[in-house]
Amino acid sequence: MSNLTHSPLAIFGGRKVREKPFAGWPVFGAPEEDRLLRALRSGKWGKLHGGEVAEFEHRFAAMHGCKHGIGVVNGTVSLRIALMASGIPAESEVIVPPYTFLATASAVVEANAVPVFADIDLETFNLDPRAVEQAVTPRTRAVIPVHMGGQPADMDRLMAMARRRHLVVIEDAAHAHGASYAGRPAGSLAHLSSFSFQSSKNLTCGEGGIVCTSDDALAEACRSIHNCGRISGGLWYEHHVMSGNYRLGEFQGAVLNAQLDRLPEQAATRDRNGQWLASRLARIPGVYPQRRDPRCTRHSYHLFLFRLDAQVFGAPRRAVLQALEAEGIPVSAGYALPLYQQPLFLNKAFGPYLPGASARLDYRKTHCPNCERICSEQGAWLEQNLLLGSPSDLEDIACAFEKVHAHRGSLASMAA
Ligand SMILES: Cc1ncc(COP(=O)(O)O)c(C=O)c1O
């Protein structure tokens, strides 16, 4: 515990634990510049002509245990393409968690299917296979587990159930670049997987995504859908399925190739630091870092998730987070609402999608108690770049938590 613990909280005018900013994101340098300039000067700026995206697709898929990778414009489109390639019938049901970014569920609507929400486990923040089992109906065709924060979901149980019920499973691995489960890479644990390369992600090119699979037929379907319905061997103006141009560009491919060289070392650092921080923060009463599943062999820590139990800690979540911010630790309360409580779902504002199913849907009846508790009372996270820091950066984070806990009495009367 640092000497600063004796200073009043920074939120009340005391000395901050941390004055310096943390490591910035993205991390880039000469390799990104060289690749970008080479792509620029080649004059081949599109995926159909250049070699950057093709090289990246091959390397990324191989690193994530898959035979095929199809680079696309973002991680929302990649989910939608994975669903369309799976042949999900119109207005069938796809089970998703409610504690995730919008895209996990909105991509289902954009594939003209019905998102059905199943609760998460309070301790791992990941889809609870028992809740999935209960959510299955004769209309269910697919499940999309999210590897929340970068910890793989309970894929053993989810895949066993999917086999019994003939369901397609698509990993939403937007947080899970370089993660692994029982030694197998995230992205190779289901029929298809989807990754995002949006600015905040552990591997980024600003905007981008990829679908991965080892199934030749699914890969061929994804390739066709992301390329205007063309088929290999077909004519240029020959279009076979409803689709569009969702191809990733060469400049993105160039940046991703350079970023991919950095990933193994960054991933090892995040996992090491994340585990260190989790064991240190777990000593503070009322702070519960995301429980690590013993089968998680690499947590990619896109987010360092934790719960704050206000009763046990002795101060309201909002006050604790404000106090941590004031100490110089950027922290978020995470998703404020389960997805089914978003106006989009409450109002069924689905545009042209789900014309038939919409009438029978009522998301006001959906309740996922663990997710609701996490959103409204307990959830919080730190972002991945904090875990790329030095031991002294990590020490500052831990000290700030310990200081705020030591002074919890002064926060107890602040609004929850
Ligand atoms: C879990 C999850 N799935 C999907 C996406 C969508 O990715 P993109 O923003 O690249 O469309 C995100 C992005 O934040 C995400 O966090």
Query: CA 9 to CA 324: how far, in whole Å?
Result: 9
Task: Give yes or no: 378 in active site.
Answer: no
Task: Give yes or no: 247 in active site.
Answer: yes
Q: Ligand 1: which residues within 6 Å by Cβ? A: 74-76, 100-101, 103-104, 146, 172, 174-175, 196, 198, 209
Q: Which atom of ligand 1 is nearest to the CA of 100?
A: 1
Task: Give yes or no: 237 in active site.
Answer: yes
Distance 339 CA to ligand 1 centre (A): 14
Task: Give yes or no: 101 in active site.
Answer: yes
Give pLDDT tens digits along the chain (416 positions).
Answer: 556 777 899 999 999 999 999 999 999 999 999 999 999 999 999 999 999 999 999 999 999 999 999 999 999 999 999 999 999 999 999 999 999 999 999 999 999 999 999 999 999 999 999 999 999 999 999 999 999 999 999 999 999 999 999 999 999 999 999 999 999 999 999 999 999 999 999 999 999 999 999 999 999 999 999 999 999 999 999 999 999 999 999 999 999 999 999 999 999 999 999 999 999 999 999 999 999 999 999 999 999 999 999 999 999 999 999 999 999 999 999 999 999 999 999 999 999 999 999 999 999 999 999 999 999 999 999 999 999 999 999 999 999 999 999 999 999 877 66
The pLDDT score that the predictor gives to residue 412 is 80
Return the percent helix, strand and coil in the chain, to nearest 5.
45, 15, 45
Reduced to 3 states (helix: H, G, I; strand: E, B; else coil), residue 211 is: strand
The pLDDT score that the predictor gives to residue 3 is 63
Distance 78 CA to ligand 1 centre (A): 10
Task: Give yes or no: 175 in active site.
Answer: yes
**What residue ranges in 302-392 does DSSP mark as E strands?**
303-308, 379-383
Helices (H), 86-206: 103-110, 129-135, 155-165
Greatest distance between any 2 Cα atoms in the chain: 74
pTM, entire model: 0.97
Catalytic annotation, pick one of 38, 44, 67, 101: 101
Do residues 169 and 162 touch, judged by C-beta distance below 8 A? Answer: yes
Per the listing, tokens 């630091």 go with 273
Q: How far apart are the first and last CA of the chain?
A: 27
Do residues 226 and 247 touch, judged by C-beta distance below 8 A? Answer: yes
Distance 11 CA to ligand 1 centre (A): 33
Distance 310 CA to ligand 1 centre (A): 30
Token representation of residue 390: 């030095």
Structural domains of the chain in order of their starting residue, each with its CATH number: 30-259 (3.40.640.10)
